[in-house]
Amino acid sequence: MPSTSPRLWIVATPLGNPGDLSPRAREVLETADLVLAEDTRRAAALFRRLGLPGRRFLSFYEQNEEERREEVLAALRSGAQVALISDAGTPLVADPGYRLVRACRREGIAVSPVPGASAPVAALSAAGLPPLPFTFLGFLPRDAGGRRALFRAYAAVPGSLVFFERKDRLAESLAVASAILGPREFAICRELTKTHEQFLLGRLEDGAELARDLLGEITVIIGPAEAPPDRADEEAARACLRALLGEGLKPREAAREAHARLTGWSAKELYALIPGLDA
């Protein structure tokens, strides 16, 4: 153990590839007096897969974090070495635990991170989308209204958006994101570090179709908002409309055709220019 004084260790575990467990993380987990885990059965299976000796596990998840905190603090006060892990990756990034860390800080109990795998960072590093700045949204809300509200709140935030989503809600969530965020690049990063790792890159407008029938753990990156195309100047718009009307198109037809040819103008705006073309 790197320390003999009471300490809370925040230990990153592999996303899927056992080789990603760091030597330091192995040392901490091999000797910890108590291991906090969201699901103790999954934690025990992880230890077996990593070749680690069995430890004393204590369930620690969002619904019981409050009641567990005093028990964990008592163990630390008595001199225990406590390790906090998540099901996979770096704890606290999208999991409970920060209130425990805060309580330890208040009491002067040491807290040390043991860095390692992190799905948002791994996805950003290999997707080929702009990594800075980025905003991590964690797991999306379960209800459609909550997802809409979340995307609206972050629509104007610069940079890429990163989040986790369940495979059965992914297509719907991407359709909502497209409607609110507009045209953007995006990536579905699936089964990171595992045998069937996959990166699906494309346009957010096509995201719902790409998301169908996917399996496994999924991290999504939506790229930054795209700058609107340069608007054609008004004189160019007027010239285009005059030419189209000269070809015999009716005003509304000319406005629609000019909209297809010119950047930055709506058909409604172009139609409004027609009465003043002879001015």
Is residue 258 within 8 Å of 241, Cβ to Cβ?
yes
In this prediction, residue 17 carries a pLDDT of 94
Cα-flanking dihedrals φ and ψ of residue 42, to 5°?
Answer: -65, -35
Handedness of CA 132, 138, 143, 145 (dihedral sign): negative
Each residue of 20-38: pLDDT tens digit? 999 999 999 999 999 999 9
On whether the CB atoms of residues 83 and 21 are closer than 8 A, the answer is no
- At 134, the amino acid letter reads F
pLDDT digits 0-9 by tens, 196-251? 999 999 999 999 888 888 888 999 999 999 877 677 788 888 889 998 998 999 99
Check residue 5 and give its pLDDT.
85
- pLDDT on residue 276: 82
Q: Whole-number mean pLDDT of the chain?
A: 92
CB of 32 within 8 A of CB of 24?
no
Mean pLDDT of 135-143: 95
Q: Is the pLDDT of residue 160 over 90?
A: yes
The pTM for the full model equals 0.78
Alpha-carbon torsion (220, 223, 224, 225), positive or negative: negative
Model pLDDT, residue 81: 96
